[in-house]
Structure 1
Amino acid sequence: MAENAMSTIRATFETREAADLAVEHLVQQHGIARPDIFIQSASNENTTGTESSRGDVSRSDAPHEGEIEVSVDIAPDQMQAVQRSFGDVGALRVSNR
């Protein structure tokens, strides 16, 4: 693998709140630009996560149809630190390719 090659790391979360916190860690602790970070449903369903976070409790239209995925391309030397950050904020699963 080339020294400047990037790897995609993905993590899944139960709530949108946890996914947003993961994004903040990527930006503030690892210096990753926010436009380089992607948040989406981990499935084909529209979802806000598998459970409510306090911010969406009153919303009856907030679907809880699956997990939220955060993905970002990072340098290999960032892999362990980013994996640790995802774990610190409650990632259910972390994978890379």
Structure 2
Amino acid sequence: MGDGSTTTIEASFETREAADIAVEHLVQQLGVSRPDIFIQPAADRNTAGLAPSGGDASHEEGARRDAPLEGEIQVSADVSLSQVGAVKRCLGEAGALWVSSR
């Protein structure tokens, strides 16, 4: 980021699939640089989210049970101050449970 006028936007998602979609929208629609976006569990434990999604949900024998469903997935992005509103809207439209800035 050029002049140092940046902030971090954080959002929480119920599934890894929703978090991945949010990241793709940030990169493709808003031009946020991929190295400025981070995905991690919202808590201390590794997790695939709160509910099965994507390949976990469409398994032939029902939802897979081997993926840890231990909590929310957090997406954070370091963005310029001019992008804050658009990034918050994008994350909300992608299904964020909450969005905040720090």
Q: Is the TM value for this pair above 0.5?
A: yes
Partner of 1:79: 84
Structure 2 Cα separation of the partners of residues 54 and 92 of structure 1: 18
Q: How far 1:30 sits from its partner (Å)?
A: 1.1
Aligned to 1:61: 66
Give the total of aligned pairs. Answer: 95
Q: Which runs of 4+ in 1 moved over 2 A?
A: 57-60
Alpha-carbon distance, 1:39 to partner: 0.3
For 1:16-31, what aligned pairs fall within 5 Å after superposition? 16-31=16-31
Larger radius of gyration: 2
**1:4 to partner: Cα distance:** 3.9
Q: CA RMSD in A?
A: 1.2
Q: Which runs of 5+ in 1 are unaligned?
A: none
Segments of 5+ residues of structure 2 without an aligned counterpart are: none
Q: How much identity, in percent, do the aligned residues show?
A: 59
DSSP-derived class of the 2:43 partner:
coil
Shift of residue 74, structure 1, vs aligned partner: 0.5
